[in-house]
Amino acid sequence: MSLHLSELRKHYGATRAVDGVSLELGERETLALLGPSGCGKSTLLRLAAGLEPPDAGRIVLDGEDITSLPPQRRRFGMVFQDYALFPHLNVERNVAFGLVELRWSRADQRARVAELLDLVGLSGLQDRRVHQLSGGQQQRVALARALAPRPEVLLLDEPLSNLDQSLREALKEELRNLLARLPVRAIYVTHDQSEAFAIAGRVAIMRDGRITQVGTREEVLERPRSAWSARFLGHRNLYDGPALAAVPGAPAAAEPVLLRADMVTLLAPAAPDTAIDAGAGAAEAGATIRRARRDGLRWQLELDVPAWSLELAWEGFARELREAPREGAALRVRVPTAAWVRLAER
């Protein structure tokens, strides 16, 4: 039982918004579609919803080809970025909109609306006009409305992007719990990796109309496929393979190589200048602080490692340093061999 998108394509003139995308969504699974703005992720979602016809490709739901089924017959719930709540209806009638199309009785509608408003924490607001609601409340109504007719698939298009930071954090948590609890499969489109990794079990990275990588949170974060994905996910230490010839433990590769800063530890300076701890599978070397910058509670350091002719960026809390970092100060880096990741492409 699953949703298959296979080889979907959508062009607008010369722009390839979706350029041959295949994805699979399993039962009760939440998949995040993560990519920068303009990468085609929203278009892909609209293809899935049936709001746009694909130029090529197939959409198969539980064995049935639904590629040409109009949206109203797909039973895919969708949460729109700007919520698209009906301004002429109150909260209850908004949530009940899909139930009316299913010819539910008025009493059943009322019960289902109450149940959903309870679920999203808006009990008792049935009679409010939607423009009387705060942004966060509107977002919840949009979610309740999409869930009410028990959709086959729930599609969420950047649902938190119109909210301010603190509200976004709170709703992210709520949404994660809700999606984990409900027996619904969901595709969650976002450009914010923290949302993607908080909410979804699996993440697909999208770039220029193509999926560059799909995997679990850990796979995607720790083993990005390309230098572009690595940079997009916030990795900063990327090197050309050949440039690492002098670094002990680094892979000999023609492709780009990533050094995971989260695995690098900082030590007190010591002799000799460079050493290999073969037993622990790590190498050490002397380094100097070229730049130190505070980013909130964390420190961001740029380090020079002359023995390896390497520059690397590190970030962490002050407690991981022995003293407040000064530019020009000496220390020692310890790089486990496992911190090196060979990337498949640029």
State which residue, 152 or 169, has the beta carbon closest to another protein.
Answer: 152
Residue of the chain from 51, 119, 275, 321 that contacts another protein (CB under 8 A): 51
Per CB under 8 A, which of residues 87..126 are in contact with another protein?
87-89, 97-98, 100-102
Shortest reach from residue 249's CB to another protein, in Å: 52
Q: How far is the CB of 134 from another protein (least distance, A)?
A: 15
Place of tokens 């039962």: 27
- Determine the longest span between alpha carbons in the chain, in angstroms: 80
Contact 166, 9 (CB under 8 A): no
CA distance 202 to 196: 9
Please provide residue 321's backbone torsions phi and psi, each rounded to the nearest 5 degrees. -110, 150
Region from 1-9, 14-22, 79-87, 302-310 binding another protein, contact rule CB under 8 A: 79-87
Should residue 170 be labelled a site residue for another protein when binding is judged by CB under 8 A? no
Tokens 């109504």 belong to residue:
141
* 127: three-class secondary structure by DSSP: coil
**Residue 56 Cβ, how far from another protein at the closest point, in Å?**
18
- Asked whether position 71 contacts another protein by CB under 8 A, the answer is yes
Judged by CB under 8 A, the number of residues near another protein is 29
- Residues facing 301 on adjacent strands: 292, 314
Q: What's the min distance (Å) between Cβ of 42 and another protein?
A: 12
* Interacting positions 132-161 with another protein (CB under 8 A): 145-146, 149, 155
Say whether residue 166 binds another protein (CB under 8 A). no
Q: Which long-range contacts (CB under 8 A, 24 or more apart) does 24-28 make?
A: 25/153, 25/185, 25/187, 26/1, 26/2, 26/185, 27/1, 27/2, 27/185, 28/183, 28/184, 28/185
| Residues found near another protein in the complex (CB under 8 A) | 49-51, 70-78, 80, 82, 84-89, 97-98, 100-102, 145-146, 149, 155
